[in-house]
Structure 1
C-alpha cells in the first residue's frame, strides 16, 4: 500500500501542529505508525491522498450514520450556503432543528444549540450547578465527555489511549469537585450518594460507554442511577453525543426507557458539520440566559449550514425501519468477526448496540471499565494494522467504539469479514 503522500503531509504537519494532528487519537500514537490523510469520502468508503480506499467504520467518529457525502445532505448544504454561511442573528433552520430534537427525544422540552459536544457537556454541567446551587459532579471511569477541566479525571478515549489518567493543566481544586464511579457498579453508586448526595449537582454518564470501546449498561443500572438522582435532588445528565439518534431514533434514553433531566448531543445532528446541543426539562433550560441567569453563548451556534446538514440527516434516519436495519447490519458484522476469530483460535469478544460496536481481544463478557482495560491492546494494534493494510479502517485505538452506517451493505461487510479472517490468521 502506497502512503508516500500521507507520509509527506504528516511530516509537514508535525512541524506545525502538536503531534501533527488537531485531535490526539488521529495521530495513531496508540496503535503505532502514521495516520493517512483523507482526500474524499463516499458512502461507506474513505479515499486517501495516495489513492487507497478503505471501508470506514469510524464515520467521522459517529456523524455519518447515513454514509459519507449523502446526496440529500450535500444538496441541503449547497442550497443553504448560497444564502450565506453565518449571520450572527437568528435563522429559521435553528428553530426547525430545535423542533425536531424536542419532537424526537423524550427528555427534551427545550434545547440550546452549541458548536461541539464538549461545549454541550460543559454547558449542561453549568446548568446543573446553577439550578441546584451545588458544586460537585459525578462521572464514570472510562467515560469521556470532552476536554473540559471537570471531565479529565479518569477519562476514557484519547486520554486513556495516551496513558494520561488526569491531564496537566487541570487545577486540583476543580478536579476535587469531580467524583468518579465505576460504570455498572450498583453498590458504589448507592454508597457515594448515601455519603455526599446532598452535595451533588449532577451525574453525567454515557448511557452506553463509547469511549472505553463499547460497554452496555447492566439491566436496571440506568434506572438505579435515575432513582438515586431523584432521591438526592441531583440532576441526571445523559451524554448522548455518540448514542443520540444512533442506537435508537430517540437515543439511549428511548432505547432504555429512562428520562434524564438534561441531555447533550452532537455528531448526527450536524450531519458532519461542527455542532452540539444540550436540552432538557423546561424548568431547567429556562434558567439559561437570556431567559435566566445561567450564562452561555456562542457566536456560531445554530449555524445555518450545520443545521441544514443535520436536518437532512435526521430526515433520512426517520425512514421506517432505519434503526432496525442498522441493528441487523451491526449484528451481521459482529457475529462474523467473532466467527472469524474462533476459526483462527484468537480470544476475541464483541459488544454491540444498533449502529455501534466494540472489539475486545479477550474472552467476554465486557461489562466494566476494568474488563475493557484487560483486553490485549498489543494484539488489537496488530489487528488494526492488518485490517488497514487490507483496506478496512477501524478506530485507531483499542478504546474507541466503531460505527456502522446505512451505507455498509452486504458487499462492504463481506469484504470486511474476508479481511478479518486474514488479519486474525496473521496474529
Structure 2
C-alpha cells in the first residue's frame, strides 16, 4: 500500500497530489503507481512492481531510462557547474549541432520547456509580421499559454473542459480555431482575416489528441496559404522532433516551416526546450532585435550537456530509428490482428515511435471529430488490465504512447500477450 500512502499524503500538499494533471490518473478512476527507478525500457514503483514503460517520461526517454552516455555527460558537467546564468561552450555546442544537423534551422534560442518554446515562437511571429492573430487547431495542445487553451488537446481534452478558468477572454480573442486535417477550414479563416494572421501553429503529427498524422496535402496547403498571405508557418515538433525521425516530421513530409519548436528529447530527459528558424526571423529577438524574451535558466549547462549527449548519439546511430520502425510495425500489426480476432473496436495510428490505440467503431481516425467518438470507458478497462499485468501506459485515451531504442521484441510480445487476454 506504499503507493497509495504516498499519493494520499501528496494530495495534502500538491493540488490533486501531482505537478501535472494527467499524472493523477483521474480519467481512469484510480491512483497512480509512485515510480522510484527506471532502467532501459523498465520502471519500478515504490512497492517493487516492474512495468514495461510506454510513457517514456511523455516522450523524452527515446534512449531509455538511465542511458549511460547521458548520465556520464551529466556527471562530468556537475563536477564543474550546476548553473551560471552566463554563456557557456556547451550551449554553443548543442546550438551548433542542432543548426547543422536539422533542416530549416539557421539560428536557435534555448528555453526551459515546450510551453515556453511555443509561446515564445508565437511572440516572435507576431513581432516579425506586426500582426496579432494566430491559427491553431482543435485538439492540438501547445502548452498552457493562455492563447492556446481553446479547444486544446492533452490534459485539457482528457479532463473534458473546453478551455480553462483563469484565462481572460482578451487573451484568446486573437486565437482562431481551425479543424485538423481540414484545409478548407484554414482557407476560410485566411479569406476572412488573412491580412491580420501572424502565424499558423500546428503539430505536423498530432500527439495530444492521440496520434493523428497530418495528411500531406494539409501541411503543403498551409505552406502555400502562409506564403500567399505573408504569415509564418510554425511546426510544433516538441513531441515529434527527433522521434518520428531525427529531423522531425518536417523531414517526413518535406514541408518547410518558418519556425520550429522543440523540447522533450532534446534535453536527454532533463527539462528544456528551444525554438529556431530562418535567420531573418530569429534576428528579431533581443538583444539583436526588438522582440524581448529571456530566461535565467535557459541554456543551463547540465541540461545542455545531457541534450548534447542525447542528440549526438541519436544522430550518429541511424540504426536506432530502424529499430524503432521495426518494433513499431510489429506492435501495430500485432494489435490489428488481435483486434480482428477478438472483435475489439480498435484503430491504431502510428508514426515512428508515437502510437495510439483508439477504442472506436470508426474505420479510421483522421480528425478531432473522429477522436471524440472513442469509448473512454472501454479504454479505462483496457488501461487497468494492462497496468495490472506490467504494462505502463499513458492514463488517457487522448495521449500518445512511445517506443524507444531500449524496447525489445520481447517487450512488444509481452504487450501483445497481455492485450490478447483483455
Please give the range of the TM-score, normalised by the shorter of the 2 chains. over 0.9
Alpha-carbon distance, 1:167 to partner: 0.5
Matches within 5 A, 1:70-85: 70-85=67-82
Question: Which residue of structure 2 lines up, in the alignment, with residue 209 of structure 1?
Answer: 206
* Separation of aligned partners in 1, 2:215 and 2:376: 24
Which residue of the partner structure matches residue 329 of structure 1? 327
Deviation sequence 1:247-266 (CA, Å, 0-9, x none): 11110111111110111000
Partner of 1:397: 396
Whether the 8 Å contact between 1:207 and 1:239 is mirrored in structure 2 is: yes
Instruction: Name the SS for the 1:30 alignment partner.
Output: helix
Deviation readout 1:350-405 (Å, 9 max, x if unpaired) = 00011111110124311000001111111011100100000001110000011100
Which consecutive segments of 4 or more residues in structure 1 shift more than 2 A?
Answer: none
Name the CA distance, whole Å, in 1 between partners of 2:322 and 2:178. Answer: 33
- Where 2:206 maps in the other structure, the secondary structure is coil
What is the aligned partner in structure 1 of residue 215 from structure 2?
218
Write out aligned runs for 1:7-406 (5 A): 7-318=4-315, 319-362=317-360, 363-406=362-405
8 Å Cα contact 2:211-2:355 kept in structure 1: yes
Aligned to 1:250, the other structure's residue is in SS state coil
Deviations 1:98-121 (A, max 9, x none): 111112221110000000000000
2:216·2:253 contact (CA, 8 Å) conserved in 1? no
Deviations 1:260-279 (A, max 9, x none): 01110001110110000000
CA contact (8 A) 1:155 1:165 kept: yes
1:55 counterpart SS class? strand
**Gaps (5+ residues) in structure 2?**
none
Comparing 287-296 with 328-337, which one deviates more in the overlay? Answer: 328-337
Return the alpha-carbon distance in structure 2 between the equivalents of residues 271 and 359 of structure 1.
Answer: 27
Q: Is the 8 A contact 1:67 1:406 kept in 2?
A: yes
Q: What's the secondary structure of 2:213's corresponding residue?
A: coil
**Distance in 2 between the 1:322 and 1:104 partners?**
17
SS in structure 1 of the partner of residue 280 of structure 2: helix
Q: Give the secondary structure class of the aligned counterpart of 2:28.
A: coil
Unmatched 5+ stretches in structure 1: none
Distance, in Å, in 2 between the alignment partners of 1:241 and 1:219 is 19
* Deviation per residue, 1:196-241 (Å, 9 max, x gap): 1111011100110000000011131100011101110111000000
Residue 407 of structure 1 is matched in structure 2 by 406
RMSD: 0.9
